[in-house]
Amino acid sequence: MRASLSNKPQGFTLIELMIVVAVIGILAAISVPQYQTYIAKSEASAALASITGHRTSVETYVLTQGSFPATSSALAIPTSPLGTISYDNVSSASGDILFTFSSSGVSPNIVSKKVALQRDSNGTWRCDSDIDTALKPKGC
């Protein structure tokens, strides 16, 4: 008895491999911009969450001191790896808690953009931002 050896070729052809590479390239071209948008939205939401948490402290300060904190020495400002938090447009009992994104280390879509919680003299808070509408966090 003789064992027959099969000469059947095994593996993928060059065309099949090129098709797979082309499909992967198309999927990457679609998914990378979507991923960057997702990251920008999540960073914008994190910024709003940071200043929203600090809003309670500012409101307590305004109610006890009668004025908006003018500097970080009046009321400690939280830190964030995404950017800086500061007070802006301060006058009497109104002012802004301003989050400014860093120029590096964040999504390119939100570099140097701002998110602000603005308090008027009546105690009403509202959110304002110069971030693109599609990337703004909910509630802003």
Mean pLDDT of 81-107: 89
45 and 137 Cβ atoms separated by less than 8 Å: yes
pTM of the shown model: 0.77
Map out the domains of the chain as residue ranges. 18-129
User: Per CATH, which fold does 18-129 belong to?
Assistant: Glycoprotein, Type 4 Pilin (3.30.700)
CA distances for 131 relative to 44, 66, 127, angstroms: 8, 32, 12
Q: Which of 13-22, 34-43, 67-76 has the lowest mean pLDDT?
A: 67-76
Given pLDDT bands bounded at 50, 70 and 90, which one contains residue 85? very high
Task: Kindly report the backbone phi and psi dihedral angles of residue 110, in degrees, each rounded to the nearest multiple of 5, phi listed first.
Answer: -125, 15
Average pLDDT score over the chain = 87
The Cα 44–Cα 113 span in angstroms is 9
Mean pLDDT of 64-87: 86
47 and 78 Cβ atoms separated by less than 8 Å: no
pLDDT tops 90 at residue 6: no
Mean pLDDT of 94-119: 90
